[in-house]
Structure formats: C-alpha cells, structure tokens
Structure 1
Amino acid sequence: MNYILFTKTAIIGFLLSVPVGPVNLLCIRRSILKSRAAGFISGLGAATCDAFFAYVTAFGISYINSFFVREEVWLRLGGGILLLFIGIRSYLAKPKEKVPAPGGKSLLSAYATTFLLNLSNPLIIIAFAAAFAGFGVIGPDGADFPAAVLVAGILAGSSLWWFVLSSIASLFQKKFNSQSIRWLSRLSGIFIALFGFLILIKLV
C-alpha cells in the first residue's frame, strides 16, 4: 500500500515542478553560470517547500493553511519583491567565464532563495489539493496514511525533476564564452524580474 502512495506522490511532485517559472529559470541560470550542484540545490529548496505544502494540504493542518490563505497578499508581495531583487542583481552581475566551485555559504543561499520563493506562493496548496484528489491520494475519510511516505514521495519526485533539469542545463556550461555568459545572465535577470513585476501588478 505504501509503495503505491509513494509512487503516486512522487509523480505528483515531479509534475508540479515541471511548469516553467522563476525557480526553473534560477535553476537553469545557476546550473550554467555556476555549477550543476548550485542548480540542483536551488531546486532542492523548492522541493523541500513543496513537501511542506503537501503535508499541510493532505493532513488538513487548518491553522497553517488558513495562515497562508489569510496572508496571501503579503506573502506574494514579498515573493514579488524578492524576484525583482534577484532579477536586477542577475542583470547587473558580471559573471566570470571560469567559475570557482561553490562553497557552503553559496549553496545555502541558493537553497534559501528558492525555498522562500515557493513559500511566498500559497496557490501551491490549491495545486496539491487538486492533484491529490485527481490521483486518489486523499480518500473520503481524509488522510489515513503515513505522513513520512507522502512527504518522501513529494520530495523524491520534485528532487528528481530538479536533478534532471540541472544536469541538462549544466551540459551547456562549456558551450558559453564570456560574451554569451554575460547575455545569458542579463536575459535571465530580465525574465526573473518580469515574473516579480507581474506578481506585484496582480496585487494592485
């Protein structure tokens, strides 16, 4: 029974991570301009947040759920501002052609930014609720399965996507010279900032 639940939630975690968004752009950008590890750790931050939201959704933790719904405007405002900051910083950055191996502080920053970005988007809870219903994860009597299996499945499926994406993106690292790296940095910065701008516009 548990392996069926794990498989279903792993598929859900993978599929909900695929749509193109700011975290995907950050993962691709960091995989190419920094390293595959930086890109994967960026995705892992989002995957951890996905697992948290999945747990809240499946087990009906009402006070946490209601907090995210109640504070949606402020959370999205914070997410939009963070994206604008990251986008502008990316545009103005002067990336080097030879990038040193990322240190622990750099990887922690990569993890934290994507975790916070996903945390600022309570709509993920709605996406998980719809996916759980569609895959028959939550039955009529509510959640009656081990929490660890559900969280592990979501985390595994989401992490698999980020591993695949960062691995593919890092293959292009050696194909970029200093000029193309600079243009990639600016272009990704523009799109990331645009995501943030659109979020802020919708709040007006």
Structure 2
Amino acid sequence: MVEVPLKLVGGVFLAWLGWKSFSPAPMREAAEARTGDLFETAAATFFLTITNPMTILAFAAMFAGLGLAESPRHVDAAIVVTGVFLGSLLWWFILSGGVALARTRLPDSLSRRVSHLSGVILFAFAALAIGSVARGYF
C-alpha cells in the first residue's frame, strides 16, 4: 500500500513549503533590461520555451488527444498549431504587460501578505493530507 506513505510525505512537504513561505527571501532589485533587438529577445525566449521537455510532452499529448497523429490532413494540424501559438502569444503579452503595470502600482507589503496567505493555504492542504491518513487509523 503506497497511498499512506505518499500522503504522509506529501503532507509533510506541503507543511514545509508553508513554513518556508512565512520567511520568504528578501526582495531583490529587478534586473535591468537590455535595450537590444526585440526580435532577438523574442526568438531566444521562443527557443527556450520550445526546447523545454515539459512543453514538448504537453504538445505531444495535446496533439494525440485531438487525434492529429492519425489525421492525414495537414491543415488540421496547422490550425491547431497556429491557435496554440496565438493563444500563447496573447497570454505572454497579458502576463508581461500586467506585471509591468502592477510592479510600479502595488505596495511592497503585498508580496509579504500573498506569501503568508499561500503559507496558510499550504498548511491547510498539508493538514488534509495528513488528516486523511490519521482518519484511516482511528
């Protein structure tokens, strides 16, 4: 029975992560962005992302799930790849734009409060995991 040790180890790990979130690393200054070629930066980011093994596995699973592996039509695959590309591009524009706007407008104490809230949530999940094991024995 592997379920009990996994729940215990997972619960202890979540509790450790919760504990660590109450003493986060001190904030550092943001790195200065180079004023270089935008295409060069976008290409480097693209190749870093596309060579990530988890990205490759996720795309393989998605294409297999959509039945594109058996489809003889290349148009179907091109539509999916274009949609994924445009969706990812939009997501990164929203994410990076939101961070750029929020970085200057949010109070410094917000990071500490979010970290503490995350710690409380992690402790709650740890208690649920360990409690489910204890409930089985009592």
TM-score > 0.5 by shorter chain: no
Structure with the bigger RCO (C-alpha within 8 Å, sep 6+) is 2
* Structure possessing the higher radius of gyration over alpha carbons: 2
Give the TM-score normalised by structure 1: 0.30
